[in-house]
Structure 1
Amino acid sequence: MIANKSQNYISPEEYLKLEELSPIKHEYIRGEVYAMAGATESHVTICVNLVKTLTDHVRGNGCNLYTGDMKARIDTASIYYYPDVMVSCDERDKAFKSLKKYPCLIIEVLSDGTEGFDRGDKFADYQELETLQEYVLISQKRQRVECFRRNAEGLWVLTSYTQGSEVYLASIDFRTSIDTIYQAVVFTTNDSEIEN
């Protein structure tokens, strides 16, 4: 989540040096650095469920799974984001230890504070990644998974999954029940905390 904007422009090289030493994560957008806020229990539980569910499948297919501590670098836009979950099957990404440039799948867990950004500018920025095949948004409020999939014409097509659905991720040829993604998630109607 973008929570706090810095006052001065810094170069991507300066950002990467500072980020190595920082006790908190920051995203970098065209010279501006933004501190990231913490996550809710639901957010963390969904991410843990995804990692647990995807790990063996992804590694068995020669791909690598990364959690919210790995940066996605968008060269064409001079941006570094920390996706909640990211998968790369591209050999070129093995050359980078603290960032990935060629993901095929990016997953973000939505919150009140980030939903508009995740659906809007962040999605537009991620579309600059030529290797990205799917962008997945997961709700914390109810069982709802939205998968934006790039088709053969380069257009992004939405497939929505709700309670009782089987979720399909074509980029890694993976299927799972939506219940597995939401296992142990408790939905609340009045959460006054600021979410990630």
Structure 2
Amino acid sequence: MATAALNRYTPEEYLALERHAEFRSEYIDGRIIAMTGGSITHNYIVGNIYAGLLARFAARPCHVFFADVKVRFGWGTNYTYPDVMALCGRPARGDEHADVLTNPALIVEVLSRSTQAYDRGEKFERYKAIETLREYVLIAQDEVLVEHFEREGDFWRCTAITDLNAVIDFQSVACSFPIREIYRRTDFVVEDVLEAPE
């Protein structure tokens, strides 16, 4: 996450600017914050989760979103771009535009050195205010580590998974996901990368 501008904006001003911007920014407490780019590994992990959930949802009334869909959440009106969001049932849109979601059940963030403290701390605290949110998943890209937070009443239980052969259960969207599939094509899973034909 890059340095925020000192100016303050209303949510309406942010949305108007963002919908015409060349680069994506998030909106936290009146500040517009430019987003940094992701790595190749980050891209693989996000793509693997999105594609895997999309395939699992093919015959079910469930939805998965990434990249250009914002979530609106707690402590006022804040907007961020989670790496992946999912839910079963009808998506609740934030307004007449089709670019804001307000009812995710599952949010996944892929960690980077510049954002991991924020993703684990302030951002997670803010996400907890989303009433529909049942699971929050943090995925490291420099080691095999998946932190799975599940809401249990007013508390969140965390399970850390470091075994590439383990399976994570996304209870909120009723599906399982092998950790190996999450890390497909990364440095941790090299045997499934096809070589280009000669």
Query: Residue 122 and residue 140 in structure 1: after superposition, are their counterparts in 2 closer, same or farther (change >3 A)?
Result: same
Matched residue count: 185
1:68-121 deviation digits (Å, cap 9, x = unpaired): 211000154321010000013342515751100011000000010000000000
How has the CA–CA distance of structure 1 residues 59 and 124 changed in structure 2, closer, same or farther, with 3 Å as cutoff?
farther
- State the shift of 1:56 in Å: 2.3
Structure ID, larger Rg: 2
Query: More helix by proportion, 1 or 2?
Result: 1
Alignment check: 8 A CA contact 1:5 1:33 kept: yes
Q: Residue 134 of structure 2 contacts residue 172 of structure 2 at CA under 8 Å; is this kept in 1?
A: yes
Give the partner amino acid of 2:156: W
- Corresponding residue for 1:91? 90
User: Residue type of the partner of 2:90?
Assistant: E
* Contact 1:77 1:128 (8 Å CA) reproduced: no
Listed as ranges, the gaps of 5+ residues in structure 2 are 189-198
Moved beyond 2 Å, runs of 4+ = 58-61, 88-92
Q: Is the 8 A contact 1:6 1:34 kept in 2?
A: yes
Distance 1:59 1:13 in 2: 35
Q: CA deviation at 1:59?
A: 4.4
Deviation at residue 186 of structure 1 after TM alignment: 1.7
Identity %: 36
Superposed, 1:42-191 pairs within 5 Å as 42-91=41-90, 93=92, 96=95, 97-151=98-152, 153-163=153-163, 164-186=165-187
Deviation at 1:162, TM superposition (A): 1.7
Q: Which runs of 5+ in 1 are unaligned?
A: 188-196
The aligned residue for residue 8 of structure 2 is 9
Change (3 A) 1:102 1:121: same
Please state how far the C-alpha of 1:143 moved relative to its aligned partner.
1.2
Question: Could you tell me the TM-score, scaled by structure 2's length?
Answer: 0.89
> Structure 1 22/35 Cα, relative in aligned 2: closer, same or farther at 3 Å?
same
Aligned residue for 1:5, secondary structure, equals: coil
TM-score (norm 1): 0.89
User: SS at the partner of 1:141?
Assistant: coil
Distance between the aligned counterparts of 1:94 and 1:72, measured in 2?
Answer: 9
Matched letter for residue 175 of structure 1: S
* Structure with the larger RCO, 1 or 2 (CA within 8 Å, 6+ apart): 1
